[in-house]
Structure 1
Amino acid sequence: MGLLSLKYRRPQHVDREDFRRRTSDLSLDEKRDASLSSGPSGASSGIPDALTFEKIMNGGTCPPCTIRDFMNYLVYIEHSAENLQFFLWYRDYVKRFNDATTSDIALAPEWTKAMEEDAITKIQKDAAGKIKKDNTPAAAIFKGTCFEKPAESVIENKDPFWTPPATADSGDALSILSGTRTISTYQTHTRDAFSAAGAKQPFTIQPFRAEINRVIATYIVDDAPRQLNLSAREMKAVVQALSYTTHPSAFRSLARNIENTLRKQAHPNFIRWTICNGNPARVTFACGLGVGTILVSTLGAILLALSGAKRGWRALLAIGWVIGIATLITACKGMCVVLHGMHHRHVRPWELFDDNSDHASQEELRESKRSFESFGSGNSYEDEPWVVKYDRRNVVCKVFDRQVWIQEPALRQIQDTIFVQSMLSALLGAAILTAVFVAVPAGDYY
């Protein structure tokens, strides 16, 4: 494979909270248009066609860009694996629902777009009415009583014997679910969710109802083990839809938002992170080595300029500047030129101890398999054996950690392009420095 364009730029880092804030401000129609226009991630965003979201999801990539690598990134780096776990479950659920031929499928009608918009409109009106009800009448009811809100002057006195009255609950009704986690059954959790959302209890004879209850208890309600990052409005809307039907269309809005997050936020960040072939210790070492080489070469040029040596000798320092500048630029992009020369990368910390013992290997396989299960515990990894072992490793060991070959051709192509860009920049920088020092008259100080 050849190089990419020399104008190539890595995918920009997309902040998760900023992306969430920007997308939450969109209307329903704008979100739908955004998801329709998302499409495959192309080279214009720094992601070649061989590493698009679809290619990774369909198993068309090699390590370290496979769906398993993507899942590990979301678990250990971005801490948002629940999005991919829900996405994989939903994709499988749609296929299984559409392939079902049992007669009870008729009991799960489609949740239409009109019904979705009506539900969201009603939720917004109820929320606006509740805010008005909580703020205005309460003050009038308690006016003139000992429960009246004190004036600012009273508050400023900070009377230790004055106790402010309990305010009306202005939070979303779904917040009551946080105190009802004592009964560990999916039925109880979902029943509470339907009640809190103001929805009717669903028919239990609907197809896949038990599985949907597990989804609600695992991904949607408050304090769920894999709770998705949903607003109160989004949570109410999907719960009301699921109280009506188990048809996949009930997840339409939620699935669209999750897929949009994976495509436009998690996927670019994953590719950007995967381009780095060294761990933080190695990249820091490479950065220091580049800076040191530049400084030593510059010091040598200064000494030659102050001496009586011929100017041609100063040009030899260009070699050091080229090496130093190229090393520094690639290190700033998370790459080590030595590892790149072999097309190697450091193994990840959670992969490092696989070969130490059968127990460690089995433990890693078990944790990896668990992350692909649709239902289960949360995605916390603090108790995994590799965490303590890796923390105990000294810096030198981390700098020279075990290496593996990069199998994905498209990733090697990206790294080759970045290396060539760094070399061209280094040649330009070295040429300028060489011209400056060669042009300086000899000092003849020694």
Structure 2
Amino acid sequence: MGFLSLGYRRPPHVDKDAFRQSMTSDSFSEKEDASLRSGRSGASAGVPDALTFDKIINGGTCPPMSVRDFMNYLIYIEHSAENLQFFLWHRDYVKRFREAKTSDMGLAPEWTQAMEDDTIAKIQKEGADKLKREPKGAEIFKGTDFEKGALENPIENRDPFSTPPRTPGSNDDASTVNFSQATTYRSQAQDAFSTAGAKQPFTIQPFRDEIDRVVATYLAADAPRQLNLSDREHKVTLQALAYTTHPTAFRLIAKSIENTLRKQAHPNFVRWSICNGNPARVFFARGLGVGTILLATVGAIILTLSRAGRGYRALFAIGWVIGIATLIAAYKGMCVVLHGLHHRHIRPWELFAEDDGESEDKRSFDTFGSGNSYEEEPWVVKYKKRNVVRKVFDREVWIQEPALRQIQDTIFVQSMLSALLLSGVLTAVFVAVPGGHFF
């Protein structure tokens, strides 16, 4: 593998919350929508062709860029693994539905785009009518002792009996107990349909039991892997699923989730994977780079003030090159020592992997598993107790993915060229300055 262009830049970080707020179901261009339907998407800036979303999902990459690594990233770093879990299930479901030849398939008609548009319009109208019927806040408190306080502090005067918002997909003890105490997935799905104002579905439709489990796992209130959806996406999808089990019922949220994975999670995953050291090692590398630069500069100043020949000052260019290259690489999350070996630090969740580590991986790929919370996993406490020195010199492993090594090679070359340029300028300045002859 050669180098990428010397003008290569890492994928820019895409903020999850900002991306979600800016994304709407109508934000796709025709080209982007066709790209998603075809199962392909344009390459994100900074992502080489060998590391595209489709290649990772289809198993065409090696560790640490495999789909398993992508899942771990979403669980432990971005905390949105439910998106990939749902995406993988939906892709498989579409395939199985199309291949099914049972006689009851006619009971699951297609959810057309026109039906979806009509449902969206109905939901929007109901929302507008509800706003008109509800009295304004000023009218509610008018003439009461709370009038002034309620208007001045609307956030602080919320209904004290309302349920505080929960993080989607959280799996605290209370939600786990409530979820496990539910009688069946069907009853949870029925509750979700009722809440969305949808009619109860026909239970004889094909795949209805599986759809009920999906609703209970990803769409119901307090679901263990609740998807982060807008109110419109949530209601429209439940209305569609109450009508049919056809894959088109997931059209709205499937497109939204796939867009999030492709254009937000995937570029961030590639950017994060470029870092070959843990935070402690990268911080240590930055400190080492700064220290080397300072020592070389102090040495050059001392020689400049002495009677030593000017040529000796040029020797400190070696220190500047090493220090600046180390600092630039560390700024991009890389340790040049680890890069020289094409190694990376083992991730904390890999470092303390138990004998049943494979079963944990299987659980994360299980469509109907529990929530994605990891706070109770043994490695969390163990890693916190690990001292800084051990973290700096944690265990290393070979980077198997050639494309990732290519990116790191390119960043290293960029760092070295920048270091040579800056060191050349510093050397020229110190050599040109007349000697002080003080000692």
* TM-score between the two structures when normalised by the length of structure 2: 0.90
Residue 350 and residue 387 in structure 1: after superposition, are their counterparts in 2 closer, same or farther (change >3 A)?
same
The one-letter code matched in structure 2 to 1:351 is E
**How far apart, CA to CA, are the structure 1 residues paired with 2:30 and 2:233?**
15
**How far apart, CA to CA, are the structure 2 residues paired with 1:401 and 1:157?**
55
Structure 1 residue 183 displacement after superposition: 3.0
DSSP-derived class of the 1:217 partner: helix
User: Equivalences for 1:134-283 in 2 at 5 Å?
Assistant: 134-135=134-135, 139=139, 149-150=142-143, 155=148, 183-283=182-282
Structure 1 residue 186 displacement after superposition: 1.3
Q: Runs in 1 of length 4+ with deviation above 6 angstroms? A: 164-167
- Residue 312 of structure 1 contacts residue 438 of structure 1 at CA under 8 Å; is this kept in 2? yes
**How far apart, CA to CA, are the structure 1 residues paired with 2:375 and 2:57?**
27
The one-letter code matched in structure 2 to 1:124 is Q
Structure 2 partner of 1:35: 33
Residue 93 and residue 153 in structure 1: after superposition, are their counterparts in 2 closer, same or farther (change >3 A)?
closer
Structure 2 partner of 1:88: 88
Structure 1 residue 130 displacement after superposition: 0.6
Structure 1 residue 191 displacement after superposition: 1.0
**How far apart, CA to CA, are the structure 2 residues paired with 1:241 and 1:154?**
43
**How far apart, CA to CA, are the structure 2 residues paired with 1:156 and 1:394?**
50
The one-letter code matched in structure 2 to 1:89 is W
**How far apart, CA to CA, are the structure 2 residues paired with 1:58 and 1:207?**
28
DSSP-derived class of the 1:330 partner: helix
DSSP-derived class of the 2:134 partner: helix
Q: Deviation digits for residues 95-116 of structure 1, max 9, x if unmatched? A: 1100100010100000001111
Structure 1 residue 386 displacement after superposition: 1.3
Structure 2 partner of 1:440: 433
DSSP-derived class of the 1:316 partner: helix
**How far apart, CA to CA, are the structure 2 residues paired with 1:94 and 1:138?**
50
**How far apart, CA to CA, are the structure 2 residues paired with 1:136 and 1:343?**
63
The one-letter code matched in structure 1 to 2:82 is E
**How far apart, CA to CA, are the structure 1 residues paired with 2:158 and 2:274?**
57
**How far apart, CA to CA, are the structure 2 residues paired with 1:412 and 1:430?**
26
Structure 2 partner of 1:427: 420
- Residue 327 of structure 1 contacts residue 336 of structure 1 at CA under 8 Å; is this kept in 2? yes
Structure 2 partner of 1:65: 65
DSSP-derived class of the 2:17 partner: helix
Gaps of 5+ in 2: 152-156, 165-174
The one-letter code matched in structure 2 to 1:409 is P
Residue 190 and residue 381 in structure 1: after superposition, are their counterparts in 2 closer, same or farther (change >3 A)?
same
**How far apart, CA to CA, are the structure 1 residues paired with 2:319 and 2:127?**
66
Structure 1 partner of 2:355: 361
The one-letter code matched in structure 1 to 2:399 is I
Structure 1 partner of 2:289: 290
Structure 1 residue 123 displacement after superposition: 0.5
**How far apart, CA to CA, are the structure 2 residues paired with 1:187 and 1:274?**
40
Residue 10 and residue 29 in structure 1: after superposition, are their counterparts in 2 closer, same or farther (change >3 A)?
closer
Structure 1 residue 259 displacement after superposition: 0.4
The one-letter code matched in structure 1 to 2:375 is E
Structure 1 residue 149 displacement after superposition: 3.1
Give the CA RMSD over aligned residues: 2.6
User: Equivalences for 1:320-339 in 2 at 5 Å?
Assistant: 320-339=319-338
Structure 1 residue 300 displacement after superposition: 0.4
Gaps of 5+ in 1: 140-146, 159-163, 172-177, 355-359
Q: Deviation digits for residues 256-294 of structure 1, max 9, x if unmatched? A: 000000000000000000010001111011100000000
Residue 111 and residue 312 in structure 1: after superposition, are their counterparts in 2 closer, same or farther (change >3 A)?
same
**How far apart, CA to CA, are the structure 2 residues paired with 1:273 and 1:9?**
13
Structure 2 partner of 1:45: 45
**How far apart, CA to CA, are the structure 1 residues paired with 2:328 and 2:270?**
19
Residue 246 and residue 31 in structure 1: after superposition, are their counterparts in 2 closer, same or farther (change >3 A)?
farther
Structure 1 residue 198 displacement after superposition: 1.2
Structure 1 residue 203 displacement after superposition: 0.2
Structure 2 partner of 1:405: 398
Structure 1 partner of 2:171: none
- Residue 41 of structure 1 contacts residue 47 of structure 1 at CA under 8 Å; is this kept in 2? no
Paired-residue identity, %: 67
- Residue 120 of structure 1 contacts residue 233 of structure 1 at CA under 8 Å; is this kept in 2? yes
* TM-score between the two structures when normalised by the length of structure 1: 0.89
With 94-103 and 384-393 compared, the bigger mean Cα shift is at: 384-393
